[in-house]
Amino acid sequence: MRYRLSLVVNGEKHELEVPANRTLLDVLRNELGLKGTKLGCGTGECGACTVLLEGEPVNSCLVIALQTNGKSVVTIEGLSRDGSIHAIQEAFINHGAIQCGYCTPGMILSAKAFLDRNPNPTEEEIREALIGNLCRCTGYQSIVEAIKSVRRQRDNEN
Amino acid sequence: MRLKSFKFYSPSSLGEALELLKQNKGNAKLLAGGTDLVLQMKRKVVTPEVIISLLEIDELRRIEKVEGALRVGATVTHSTLENSELLHDGFQILSSSAKKVGSPQVRNRGTLGGNLCNASPAADTSPAMLVLGAQVYVVSQEGERNIPIDLFFTGPGSCAIEEAEILKDVIIPEQPPETLGVYLKLGRRRGMDVALASVAVLVMFEGKGEASIRRCRIGLGSVSPTPIRAKRAEEFLRGRVLEEKVIQEAGEYVQSECCPISDIRASAEYRKEMVRVLCVRAMKQLMGVRCPNLLRGKYE
């Protein structure tokens, strides 16, 4: 049996029909073809599947898609504007904070939600905010440096 | 890790949810944020035929001050508890324990009701609920009842809620003035880890600026089949002044009251030792806030 699911993803409205046993991650990747969101552990531990649901980071592998009916979702594909990538993405590239890239979409979305709320964080606060995103190759140091640089960049703009 | 197929309902009222629960007796599971249940479904620990989502029921999402108490709806998330301005003074121990749950992602989805009903001996909010003397308010088609939190947990993964009942909210009595609380959790890493021991200490002091204890409650996690109170330690502390010797002795009482198991996270012996250490640390933290002049040395 399929159920109606109405969802706004990256600002675009979608009317879908999905079986009840699909997670938000399944729908994003397989119904909408948004492969930027990754399946890591599938058990809500690693954060590779992090997306923003109503602006807040969640593990999309543990969210039953039908529970997001009428809600808005932002994935990594939704961060670029007019063909240019987001300042956080730019910072990750400039700091070599992407190696295999698998944890990157989740890391960046966690960082975005955090920086939206707390634009001038300490290093400790940055590490705390990323506690639900595991990285197994790049290393956290360059990731934290990248996020710190976004803060400085914003300071310079002001 | 595909989920087995199931029927899905998302009622917008409690009455509707109770009716669905009755119609699908024995086959249905109530779903809130899914951080525990969806995981269990993926692992095929449970394979419900029917899922009833509670997230569209407005009255379960409320958190409000009522006369002499704080009422927290079942689907209030840990993030909401962490950030709510209503959780100050004596209630602050609840927000500090909600903050220790999993990760931001888990706290944005996971709910207080879910954390309690999952009834893990290691649940972060349970020791705080015990020391705050919460009442769990449940409804069914037959009526409503209050379960005191001391009687709520019945074993690892089981609680006193019947199949036809839904946890509606948790009522937390207003704490007396001069009440201070601390929650400490020990794990291998700070995020995304289950406590291998945890301690909630709530002390009501005799009067302003005084270090003597009128009443104290101590809740323990991960050191017994359910979250428990350390009542002998509480009794010992009543009327005493918070000072080094007393704190050490209270720690020994706490240690004698728990019965941890050995598992992949830690040995029983280690847990027993750590629960004492956590308890001593928690009380020293309180002492540091309360009467810093009595505190020699620096404690975490």
Residues A8, A65: one domain?
Answer: yes
Task: State the nearest Cα–Cα gap between A65 and chain B, in angstroms.
Answer: 11
The radius of gyration of chain A from alpha carbons, rounded to an integer in Å, stands at 16
pLDDT tens figures, B17-54: 999 999 999 999 999 999 999 999 999 999 999 999 99
How many independent structural domains does chain A possess? 2
Percent of chain A at pLDDT > 70 equals 97
pLDDT tens figures, B239-254: 999 889 999 999 999 9
* pLDDT of A92: 97
Beta bridge partners of B185: B198
* pLDDT of B2: 87
Residue A114 pLDDT greater than 60, yes or no: yes
Q: Which domains does chain B have, with CATH numbers?
A: 7-53 (3.30.43.10), 58-173 (3.30.465.10), 179-294 (3.30.390.50)
Query: Which residues span the domain enclosing A121?
Result: 87-157
Residue B83, phi-psi category: left (phi > 0), alpha (psi -120 to 50), beta (remainder): alpha
When the pLDDT of each residue in chain B is averaged and rounded to a whole number, the result is: 93
Predicted ipTM? 0.96
- Choose one of A21, A49, A78: the last residue of a domain: A78
SS (H, E, C) chain B: CCCCCCEEECCCCHHHHHHHHHHCCCCEEEECCCCCHHHHHHCCCCCCCEEEECCCCHHHHCEEEECCEEEEECCCEHHHHHHCCCCCHHHHHHHHHHCCCCCHHHHHHCEHHHHHHHCCCCCCHHHHHHHHCCEEEEEECCEEEEEEHHHCEEECCEECCCCCCEEEEEEEECCCCCEEEEEEEECCCCCCCCCCEEEEEEEEECCCCCCEEEEEEEEEECCCCCCEECHHHHHHHCCCECCHHHHHHHHHHHHHHCCCCCCCCCCHHHHHHHHHHHHHHHHHHHHHHHCHHHCCCCCC
Residues A58, A126: one domain?
Answer: no
pLDDT tens figures, B52-75: 999 999 999 999 999 999 999 999
Nearest to A44 among B2, B51, B106 (CB): B106
* pLDDT of B294: 59
Residues A74, A102: one domain?
Answer: no
Question: Cβ A114–B5 below 8 Å, yes or no?
Answer: no
| pLDDT confidence band for B293 (50 / 70 / 90) | low
Residues A55, A119: one domain?
Answer: no
Task: State the nearest Cα–Cα gap between A5 and chain B, in angstroms.
Answer: 12
Question: Cβ A64–B2 below 8 Å, yes or no?
Answer: no
Helix A87-94 × helix A140-157 angle, to 10°: 130
Residues A15, A74: one domain?
Answer: yes
- Choose one of A42, A59, A78: the last residue of a domain: A78
* pLDDT of B47: 97
| pLDDT confidence band for B188 (50 / 70 / 90) | confident
Residues A8, A74: one domain?
Answer: yes
Residues A100, A151: one domain?
Answer: yes
* pLDDT of B300: 40
> CB distance from A108 to chain B under 8 Å?
no
- Residues of chain B found within 8 Å of residue A133, distances taken between Cβ atoms: 103
Question: Cβ A62–B34 below 8 Å, yes or no?
Answer: yes
Percent of chain B at pLDDT > 90 equals 84
Residue of chain A nearest B99, judged by CA positions: A128
pTM: 0.95
Q: Quick check: helix, strand or coil at residue A39? A: coil
- Please tell me which residue, A9 or B176, carries the higher pLDDT value: A9
Residues A74, A95: one domain?
Answer: no
Region B156-169: mean pLDDT is 97
Region B147-162: mean pLDDT is 97
Q: A3 and B8 in contact (C-beta within 8 Å)?
A: yes
> CB distance from A62 to chain B under 8 Å?
yes
Residues A114, A97: one domain?
Answer: yes
Task: State the nearest Cα–Cα gap between B6 and chain A, in angstroms.
Answer: 6
Residues A72, A97: one domain?
Answer: no
* pLDDT of B89: 77
Nearest to B105 among A1, A58, A128 (CB): A58
How many CB pairs (< 8 A) connect A and B?
90
Residue of A18, A117, A124, A131 to mutate, testing the B interface (most B Cβ within 10 Å of its Cβ): A131
* pLDDT of B299: 44
* pLDDT of B295: 55
Region A67-82: mean pLDDT is 97
Residues A74, A133: one domain?
Answer: no
* pLDDT of B298: 45
Residues A74, A93: one domain?
Answer: no
- Residues of chain A found within 8 Å of residue B43, distances taken between Cβ atoms: 43
DSSP string, A98-140: -SS-SSHHHHHHHHHHHHHH-SS--HHHHHHHTTT---SSS-H
Q: What is the CATH number of the domain that holds A29?
A: 3.10.20.30
CA dist., res. A110 & res. A126, Å (int): 10
Residue A126 pLDDT greater than 60, yes or no: yes
Q: Poorest-confidence range of A54-58, B83-87, B111-115, B287-291?
A: B287-291
Q: What is the CATH number of the domain that holds A149?
A: 1.10.150.120
| pLDDT confidence band for A157 (50 / 70 / 90) | low
Residue of chain A nearest B3, judged by CA positions: A21
- Choose one of A37, A52, A78: the last residue of a domain: A78
